[in-house]
Amino acid sequence: DIQLTQSPSFLSASVGDRVTITCRASQGINNFLAWYQLKPGQAPKVLIYVVGTLQTGVPSRFSGSASGTEFTLTISGLQPEDSAVYYCQQLYSYPLTFGGGTKVEIK
């Protein structure tokens, strides 16, 4: 199984900050990686897929990138509504595994 190591597990930042979440895969996944946002009481939603493609309707302050087996979600200009838990997921091979999650708190 492909393991995804996501870091940090928690971060606290101020409105306007640039924040970065990292997801490291245990083997190559050919860029089949997506990022999801979970908020309490809401359906989860996809933010970015295939490493860097922004889902329609997602603000452009969200971006994704990759370097080998290390993947990054960046929020440029953190907003209050970005308080959530973020997960990466590999869709290269079954089982389709998720990272452990990153809780983002607004100071």
Partner 1 sequence: AQLLESGGGLVQPGGSLRLSCTASGFTFNNYAMAWVRQAPGKGLEWVSSISGNADTTPHSDSVKGRFTISRDNSKNTLFLHMSSLRAEDAAIYYCVKCASTCQHQWFDSWGQGTQVTVSS
Return residues touching partner 1 (CB under 8 A).
32, 34, 36, 38, 42-46, 49-50, 55, 87, 89, 91-101
Smallest gap from residue 3 Cβ to partner 1 (A): 13
Closer to partner 1 by Cβ: residue 10 or 18: 10
> What is the sign of the dihedral through the CA atoms of 21, 39, 34 and 26?
positive
Pairing of strands 10-13, 102-106: parallel
Closer to partner 1 by Cβ: residue 13 or 38: 38
Closer to partner 1 by Cβ: residue 7 or 17: 7
